[in-house]
Structure 1
Amino acid sequence: MAQKRKSLDESALEFFKSPIPESAEAPAKAAELVALELIHLPKQQPRRYFDARKLQSLVQSVKEHGILEPLLVRPLSDKQYELVAGERRYRAAKEVNLSQVPVVIRELSESEALQLALVENLQREDLNPVEETEGVLQLLALKLSLTVDEVTSRLYRMYNEVKGNVNSANPNVRVSDQDPTVQSVFDSLGLMGWESFVKNRLPLLNLPPELKEALSRGEIAYTKAQAIARVKDEQERKALLEAALNENLSLSQIKERIASLKDKSADNNEGEPSSLRSRMATAYTKAKKSKIWEDPKKQKRLKKLLAELEALVSEG
């Protein structure tokens, strides 16, 4: 069961505990008004998916009440600023053509800013599983000074070690013992344990594109997406996904349709060579174990069938 999410303040505090960058230790300044045109989105943006309806609801709120919670920015050169946290508010302000927005300015390096942005993004209540997975991997990559692919590989190694599937030249050296940072990051976020993350979240990144996109948009539960992903035929998989979305199929209904697709596929393949070979092998195995050899009438029929088979094979 997922752990209770911690507030952004709690997560940021714990996240920067060891070690805490000097800029993150500095007390936050009071909010001040800054021209919206002076604020720019960062090159690396943790947030990729926005619920259009929720964004429009925020736009309406900003029209009526303005920006109630300041944006977090860091200063750049020439009195320009880079957004660190609050992208939805930033987008809503642009849509209603606000000239100024309240901001809190903090001196942060590019790496520190990205870390805080990732933490802020991971605290959202509407976070979908794909965003959550990608965000956690980015955060770990920054903390461990590795690439996302290297972090993924290391997490799988740690998981295999814990489960006893160790395949190493030196089994006494455990990756999991060398990475306390991994545990501390998951503890600070309060989302789930790292083992659950490896088992239930990392496989989502290997989903077919259409399923990953539907999951990212929040249109389907990840358990349903994982089930549909087992359908190898692309057209059948896409058709099943469309049916699941349009008919709001339950997980059990999806599994029933997958079973039906397998039965249909088996029926269609009855005439294929691979199926014939399988049937022949099965029949031979059953024949050796049956009591057909004790029945003279069945032996006579079997001799006739065998003669036909030998003649057919000799023709080939």
Structure 2
Amino acid sequence: MIDDKKKPRRLGKGLSAIFGDDEPDAPAAEATPTGTPPLPRSLPTSYLTPGRYQPRRRFEAEAMEQLITSVREQGVVQPLIVRPLGDNRYEIVAGERRWRAAQAVQLHEVPVVIRDMTDRQALEVSLLENIQRQDLTPLEEADGYRRLMDEFGHTQEALANHLGKSRSHIANTLRLLNLPESVRELVESGSLSAGHARALLTLPNPEAVAEQIIAKKLSVRAVEQMAQRAKDGKPLTPAPVAKPRRVKAVAGGAKDPDTLALEADLSHKLGVAVEIVTDGEAGQLVLHYATLEQLDDLLQRIG
């Protein structure tokens, strides 16, 4: 249970609690006489325990292997944020993946910054650290936004301003929580993209369409077209994917078959219409999107 009943603070205050900036209600466990932030110190890995407010529900094996390799070669570079529990026990507020990687390579100690935090502050800092590092899945991110709003009183607009996200991104991400559990599990596992999931929200039977997406490898655009057909009262069958807009002639002639094939292949992989305009060695790669949802899915695909 969150034990801090104070009024909602600016979102950035949660991270300020880590470094000692402007946080009179969260005194540092190792504060210096001048009030400067506490310096990192080393603690045995056995003294640490996972945080109760960790927003991450899955630790992807491939990402963990990469982190383990990095820790094996360079050690834990960024200190963990912990808070004291007493009897040489400390709860991890931020950095559980680094702690797990350190254990995997049998490091006996890790660098930490110790802070006294209330349950409320620990939850806020843990959520913010993960969201700002973009380490969460779309649904973990959505759940983080929901908890920041429900438990700290933040608005969607405040979240957008402080996290550098668009207001529509916050709103669309939160909508993912309205999906059926079976579909959410497919998003969590990576079988469906966030763009697919948002398109499914408007369909009467998202579970059945989710199965079609996976079986037929449907693009986000195709699912959006299905949603539009459902809205118009038409059968839920995928509409043909729109072909890329063609350039009649480039450098005095029509496009060669290889260029056309490459356009089609890229269109299939990116889920949007692709146009390649060439003039000798130079040229342009043009991506055509029809909706902001489609653009958001494209941006996620290309990182």
Question: TM-score, normalised to structure 2's length?
Answer: 0.60
1:75 partner SS: strand
Per-residue deviation at 1:209? 1.9
Tell whether the 8 Å contact from 1:210 to 1:238 is kept in structure 2 after alignment. no
1:162-201 aligned within 5 A = 183-193=157-167, 197-198=170-171, 200-201=172-173
Letter of the 1:12 partner, please give it.
Answer: L
| 2:223 pairs with 1:251 | no
Structure 2 partner of 1:242: 214
Distance 1:206 1:241 in 2: 19
1:114-129 aligned within 5 A = 114-129=123-138
Tell whether the 8 Å contact from 2:43 to 2:112 is kept in structure 1 after alignment. yes
Q: Deviations over 1:30-77 (max 9, x none)?
A: 221111111011222222233321111001111222111111111111
* Higher Cα Rg, which structure: 1
1:1-316 aligned within 5 A = 12-13=15-16, 21-23=25-27, 27-144=36-153, 183-193=157-167, 197-198=170-171, 200-233=172-205, 236-243=208-215, 247=217, 249-255=218-224, 263=235
Per-residue deviation at 1:234? 6.9
Distance 1:235 1:264 in 2: 13
Tell whether the 8 Å contact from 2:17 to 2:23 is kept in structure 1 after alignment. no
Cα RMSD after superposing both structures: 3.5
> 1:240–1:20: structure 2 CA closer, same or farther, 3 Å change rule?
farther
2:86 partner SS: coil
Letter of the 1:203 partner, please give it.
Answer: R
Q: Deviations over 1:266-291 (max 9, x none)?
A: xxxxxxxxxxxxxxxxxxxxxxxxxx
Question: TM-score, normalised to structure 1's length?
Answer: 0.58
Structure 2 partner of 1:294: none
Structure 1 partner of 2:6: none
Unaligned runs of 5+ in 1: 1-7, 145-150, 156-181, 266-316
Higher relative contact order (CA 8 A, sep 6+): 1
Per-residue deviation at 1:142? 2.9
> 1:264–1:225: structure 2 CA closer, same or farther, 3 Å change rule?
closer
Per-residue deviation at 1:233? 4.6
Aligned residue-pair number: 218
Higher percent of residues as helix: 1
Structure 1 partner of 2:4: none
Higher percent of residues as strand: 2
Unaligned runs of 5+ in 2: 1-10, 238-303
Distance 2:129 2:204 in 1: 37
Distance 1:215 1:74 in 2: 33
